[in-house]
């Protein structure tokens, strides 16, 4: 079989394996009766996205992102993107035409949309793992990634928020960039995916920036081999950024800069960065000398910094710099996904094991690979994204979603290596090591062990902490209730210390 036929067969295999895993997850949700559709678990973002889609289908303008019925009189403008509303609305329209029932069509959309994203994310994860660790890493990536994504909950039925879209697009950008040396259009599509994930939400800025920096530095390290990749990535990133700007921003707002949504600020940065990178890659002197290429890229970075500082200085401040201290105390400090690693270690160590264990194992694997030598471009891309996502996750819990996903790639390669050893010469020792590698790599195993340890500890101390919903607020849904729960938590901590002098 030729190289092209081998590549096509691998794509089909990964698509089918990802589809089977997605169908299995869908069957598990169906077995439980799609309970997430009637109990959102406190995730108001999913519910509000459905409201936004309903308003769009009811005739609210494409460029009008007001939620008129929420908050004070007159409502407020949402910072979300129509790029997510549109496909969900299309599914609702198609299902309505087939069933004749709008409520049923909405249920279909709430089940089908996350399932499609789950499938596509698994597919790109398998592609990335295959490029990183060989053909043997694809199946472990499906199994490890499928288990991790399923228990993260961002692909549950009813998960209409944009985090699953962003993870899928970011993983697509990475997978395509890993395949770029072997496939002509991969770099262009990688730039497209990076621009789209940025347009959907600003949470992925660290990962998009990391991908862009990696593409630039790989070009400096290997000008001849990475020249076309850098050019195509830059053109795809800038071109799609321009299309998104025109398609989602009304002409009346083209001069208005928003820091938490795609606007002229992000468009200008994307245009300068993308076109600048492509232009540098096309310049013969830059492609022939590492020093000249690095100098030109440094100049591009200076230009970007000067433009942002001069035109959009408000976007250089910390995300919560202007937040009222009272609002931070009453609201932000009680949102689970905004908690830091240090806070989790103090108040919820079980969650630390569930969210940080597999990324940390993957980082150790990458460090060992670097120490042994033989570093490759694939290693640079995966290691950079894994390290950045771990740092973001240490700052805020929400970042662990991406670090868990990126960790699947080196973990799958690790499993593939031990599988090949077991196939080459089976022995009880190798079999036990392979089993241990599988268990250590599967994130829900850490989640289960941590949960069991937490329950045992609570039983021993006789103190049980109140359950909080997906947004971190207690079930009472009132801000003052957070104070009561905090007092309860401190009482639990004190009681735990009395029960165990080592604490």
pLDDT over 70 for what percent of the chain? 86
User: Is the pLDDT assigned to residue 384 strictly greater than 70?
Assistant: yes
Least confident of 180-194, 238-252, 475-489: 475-489
Return the structure tokens found at 82.
């129509």
Are the C-beta atoms of 473 and 42 separated by less than 8 Å?
yes
What 8-state DSSP symbol labels residue 317?
S
Going from the C-alpha of 284 to that of each of 234, 316, 449, the distances in angstroms are: 17, 34, 56
Q: Which helix (H) or strand (E) holds 76?
A: strand 76-77
Task: Report the alpha-carbon distance of residue 277 to residue 157 in Å, rounded.
Answer: 40
C-alpha 133/C-alpha 136 separation (Å) is: 7
Q: What number is the average pLDDT over the span 6-17?
A: 85
Q: Give yes or no for residue 271 having a pLDDT over 60.
A: yes
Provide the pLDDT confidence category of residue 392 given band limits of 50, 70 and 90: very high
pLDDT tier for residue 289 given thresholds of 50, 70 and 90: confident
Least confident range from 19-33, 51-65, 397-411, 467-481: namely 467-481
Tell me what pLDDT residue 109 has. Answer: 96
pLDDT at 403 over 90: yes
Q: Which pLDDT score, from 0 to 100, does residue 93 have? A: 96
**pLDDT of amino acid 338:** 75
Spatial distance between the Cα atoms of 113 and 158, rounded to a whole number of angstroms: 8
Give the pLDDT confidence of 152-186 residue by residue, as tens digits.
Answer: 889 999 999 899 999 999 999 999 999 999 998 99
Q: Over range 93-102, report the average pLDDT.
A: 95
Higher pLDDT, 224 or 142: 142
Which positions ≥6 away from 200 have C-beta within 8 Å? Answer: 81, 83, 84, 162, 165, 166, 169
What is the arithmetic mean of pLDDT over 279-301? 82
Residue 441 contacts residue 480 (beta carbons within 8 Å):
no
DSSP letter string, 325-348? HHHHHHTGGG-GGG--HHHHHHH-
Distance CA 118, CA 111 (A): 11
Measured between alpha carbons, how far is 304 from 276 in angstroms, rounded to an integer?
Answer: 10
So what's the pLDDT on residue 60?
Answer: 93
The residue among 41, 109, 40, 45 whose CA lies nearest residue 78 is 45
Q: For position 502, what pLDDT does the model report?
A: 36
Q: At 77, is the secondary structure helix, strand, or coil?
A: strand
pLDDT-based confidence at residue 286 (cuts at 50, 70, 90): low
Rounded-to-integer distance, Cα 106 and Cα 96, Å: 8
Phi-psi region of 216 (alpha: psi -120 to 50; beta: other; left: phi over 0): alpha
| Confidence label for 490 from pLDDT (cuts 50, 70 and 90) | very low
pLDDT(119) > 80: yes
Structure token pair of residue 383? 């290691």
The pLDDT value given to residue 483: 32
pLDDT band (50, 70, 90) for residue 4: low
Contact 174, 214 (CB under 8 A): no
Kindly report the pTM of this predicted structure. 0.88
Confidence of residue 292 (pLDDT cuts 50, 70, 90): confident
3-state secondary structure 81-136: CHHHHHHHHHHHHHHHHHHCCHHHHHHHHHHHHHHHHHHHHHHHHHHHHHHHHCHH
pLDDT bin (cut points 50, 70, 90) of residue 285 is low
The residue-averaged pLDDT of 384-413 equals 94
Mean pLDDT of the region 223-251: 94
Q: What is the mean pLDDT of residues 368-386?
A: 91
């Amino acid at each position: 079989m030729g190289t092209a036929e081998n590549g096509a067969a691998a794509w089909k295999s990964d698509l089918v394996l990802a589809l089977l895993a997605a169908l299995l997850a869908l069957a598990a949700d169906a077995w439980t009766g799609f309970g997430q559709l009637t109990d959102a678990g406190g995730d108001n973002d999913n519910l509000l996205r459905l409201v936004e889609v309903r308003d769009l289908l009811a005739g609210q303008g494409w460029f009008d992102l007001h939620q008129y019925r929420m908050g004070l009189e007159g409502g407020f403008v949402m910072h979300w993107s129509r790029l997510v509303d549109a496909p969900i609305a299309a599914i609702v329209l198609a299902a309505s035409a087939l069933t004749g029932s709008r409520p049923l069509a909405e249920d279909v959309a709430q089940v089908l949309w996350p399932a499609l994203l789950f499938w596509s994310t698994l597919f790109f994860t398998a592609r990335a793992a295959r490029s990183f660790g060989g053909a043997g890493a694809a199946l472990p990536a499906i199994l490890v990634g499928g288990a991790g994504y399923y228990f993260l909950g961002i692909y549950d039925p009813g998960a209409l928020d944009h985090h699953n879209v962003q993870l899928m697009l970011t993983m697509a950008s990475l997978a395509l960039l890993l395949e770029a040396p072997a496939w002509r259009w991969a770099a262009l599509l990688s730039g497209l995916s990076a621009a789209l994930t940025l347009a959907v939400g600003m949470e992925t800025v660290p990962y998009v920036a990391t991908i862009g920096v990696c593409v630039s530095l790989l070009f400096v390290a290997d000008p001849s081999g990475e020249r076309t990749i850098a050019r195509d990535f830059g053109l795809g990133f800038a071109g799609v950024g321009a299309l998104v700007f025109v398609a989602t921003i009304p002409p009346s707002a083209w001069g208005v800069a928003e820091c938490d949504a795609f606007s002229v600020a992000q468009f200008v940065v994307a245009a300068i960065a993308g076109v600048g990178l492509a232009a540098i890659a096309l310049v013969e002197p830059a492609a022939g000398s590492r020093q000249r290429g690095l100098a030109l890229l440094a100049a591009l970075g200076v230009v970007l910094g000067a433009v942002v500082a001069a035109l959009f200085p408000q976007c250089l401040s910390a995300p919560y710099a202007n937040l009222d201290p009272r609002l931070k105390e009453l609201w932000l400090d009680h949102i689970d996904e905004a908690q830091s690693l240090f806070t989790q270690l103090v108040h919820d160590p079980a969650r630390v094991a569930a969210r940080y264990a597999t990324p940390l194992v993957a980082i150790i694997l990458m460090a060992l690979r670097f120490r042994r030598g033989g570093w490759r471009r694939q290693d640079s891309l995966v290691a950079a994204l894994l390290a950045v996502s771990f740092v973001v996750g240490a700052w805020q819990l929400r970042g662990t979603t991406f670090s868990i996903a990126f960790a699947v790639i080196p973990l799958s390669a690790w499993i593939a290596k031990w599988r090949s050893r077991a196939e080459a010469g089976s022995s009880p020792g190798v079999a036990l090591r392979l089993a241990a590698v599988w268990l250590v790599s599967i994130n829900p195993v850490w989640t289960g062990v941590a949960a069991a340890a937490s329950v045992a500890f609570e039983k021993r101390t006789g103190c049980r902490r109140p359950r909080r919903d997906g947004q971190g607020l207690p079930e009472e849904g009132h801000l003052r209730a957070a104070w009561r729960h905090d007092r309860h938590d401190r009482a639990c901590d004190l009681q735990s210390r009395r029960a165990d002098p080592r604490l």
